Amino acid sequence: MRLAIISDIHANLEAFEAVLRKIDDIKPDNILCLGDIVGYGPNPNECLQKVKKIVDVSVVGNHEYGVLGLTDLRYFSVNARLACEWTKDVLTDDNMSYLSNLPIQVVREHMLLVHSTPKAPEEWNYILSIQDAFYQFNDLTEKVCLIGHSHEPITFTKGNETCGIIDDKKFLIKEDSKYIINCGSVGQPRDNDPRASFCLINEEKEEVQIIRVPYDIDKVQRKIIERGLPRFLAERLSIGV
């Protein structure tokens, strides 16, 4: 089975549609979403409609919690808070209901799907270093954990008592190791590469691949500004930060 893993769409319709076109070419068996469908971007309803139509499994992210009032927006940056407040005002009732029913984590055979971390996912911590990963591996019972949240595609691996980072964008899953795989962000990459990011997993070959897709950044930037969202949210897309 081949799985397409997407995360952190952040209401960026142009990036999402570009990724979906690439996914359509690949024709995976399932599409899995790791949360933060909304927030930051100008098209939350349109992105949610597409997620509801084509995604097989989705979990909730911290921006969904912010919009739903389940996380105090005082913990968000100013720009994130303003975008969440705007999103809450424009979301349809049906889409709010959909968000409120998303689970915080899903176990799929040997995989854990979660937005942030295996341990206390509702605290919305980040896995940014080997030290962070080592702490999280202690609570990971599945072989593979799929995450988003940091907007940076990176893979941590643990074999025996040591942790490491896999820099390759295409690699094989080893039998004697565990993995925390961050598929990056569809709608707001932060690894200095502005192209949308998602992950493809071939379970038969035990192969993981991070895929990057260019999209019409200018168009979404114009929409962000036209809708009165913070200008920084448009500007950052050009440089991937």
Q: What is the pLDDT of residues 111-148, one digit of tens each?
A: 999 999 999 999 999 999 999 999 999 889 999 999 99
Does pLDDT of 101 surpass 90? yes
- pLDDT band at residue 167 under the 50/70/90 scheme: confident
Mean pLDDT, to the nearest integer, of 45-73? Answer: 97
Q: What is the pLDDT at residue 161? A: 75
For residues 28-43, give the mean pLDDT.
98
Per-position DSSP letters for 54-115, written without gaps between them? H-SEE---HHHHHHHTSS-GGGS-HHHHHHHHHHHHH--HHHHHHHHT--SEEEETTEEEES
Is residue 160 very low, low, confident or very high in pLDDT (cuts 50, 70, 90)? Answer: confident
Listed in sequence order, the residues at least 6 apart from 160 whose beta carbon sits closer than 8 Å to its beta carbon are 176
At residue 109, the pLDDT reads 86
Query: What's the pLDDT at 172?
Result: 96
Question: What would the mean pLDDT of 37-56 be, rounded to a whole number?
Answer: 98
Pairing between strand 162-166 and 154-159? Answer: antiparallel
Find out whether 56 and 28 touch, Cβ atoms under 8 Å. no
pTM of the model: 0.97
Where along the chain do its domains lie? 2-238
User: Once rounded to an integer, what is the mean pLDDT over residues 103-118?
Assistant: 96
pLDDT > 90 fraction of the chain, expressed in percent and rounded: 96
Q: Which of the following CATH numbers is that of domain 2-238: 3.40.30.10, 3.40.50.2300, 3.60.10.10, 3.60.21.10?
A: 3.60.21.10
Burial, 168: exposed, middle or buried (Cβ in 10 Å; 0-12, 13-18, 19+)? exposed
- Mean pLDDT (the chain, rounded): 97
Q: Is the pLDDT of residue 214 over 80?
A: yes
Is 182 within 8 Å of 153 (Cβ atoms)? yes
Alpha carbons within 13 angstroms on the beta-carbon side of residue 88 total 16
